[in-house]
Chains A and B, each alone.
Chain A
């Protein structure tokens, strides 16, 4: 089974801090997606990165796809309580393979 490992598993920070979440695999993916999931709801797509080395920005969130298309990172600048949730990466091969998840809590 192909695995996408995310780190850290849990992260609790204060409002205004910066953070980075990592998504790593030994497999190459054709693209990589990031989802955010809030309690009691299903995941919602944030972004898709396709090209090795690609960087995409969504307001205070910056997503990067590794050059070899095996890993990705999510950087949040000046985190806010509204960023609280479970962040999931998902790599695309013949199907979508989801990562293990990073649970982020931003304290006001």
Chain B
């Protein structure tokens, strides 16, 4: 199994509070991704990173920001959580850009509930 951990694994928070989710990898892969998973929508890309301090937006980036100060860590921040951000969040890593034949390896997920 790829060495990917996510923390916390579960979190309950209130509307309007900031929340930070952490993804940590031990594989030294260049690319890291944050997805959210909701019923009927599959996995949707929030943000991704192609190197330290290099990030870009995905399909559903509004209300989220990311940072990557080290190869192994990719942080996802909800500046002011809303109930629509209740979801399961997955981090993934890949050696190249996730296109063509490259494999994305996923972490175990973080279940976030915003009350």
**Nearest B residue to A101 by beta-carbon distance?**
B42
A9 to B44, CA, bound (A): 17
Q: Are B59 and A1 in contact (CB under 8 A)?
A: yes
Chain B neighbourhood of A88, CB < 8 A:
42-43
With A41-B108, A42-B107, A42-B109 as given contacts, are A95 and B100 in contact (CB-CB < 8 Å)? no
Tell me, yes or no, whether A43 is within 8 Å of chain B by CB.
yes
Chain A neighbourhood of B92, CB < 8 A:
42
Tell me how many residue pairs across A and B have CB atoms closer than 8 Å. 63
Q: Are B99 and A95 in contact (CB under 8 A)?
A: yes
A98 to B97, CA, bound (A): 15
With A88-B43, A95-B98, A101-B42 as given contacts, are A45 and B109 in contact (CB-CB < 8 Å)? no
Chain A neighbourhood of B90, CB < 8 A:
42-43
We find that the number of chain B residues with CB closer than 8 angstroms to chain A is 25
Closest CB-CB distance, A106 to chain B, in whole Å? 20
Q: Are B99 and A94 in contact (CB under 8 A)?
A: yes
Interface residue SS majority, chain B: loop
**Nearest A residue to B91 by beta-carbon distance?**
A42
Interface code A78-97, partner B: CB below 8 Å = 1, 0 otherwise? Answer: 00000000001010111110
The 5 closest A-B pairs by CB, nearest first: A42-B106, A98-B43, A98-B42, A100-B42, A96-B98
Q: List 22 A-B contacts (CB under 8 A).
A: A9-B40, A40-B109, A41-B108, A42-B4, A42-B92, A42-B105, A42-B106, A44-B106, A88-B42, A92-B99, A92-B100, A92-B101, A94-B97, A94-B99, A95-B45, A95-B48, A95-B97, A95-B99, A96-B45, A96-B104, A98-B35, A99-B42
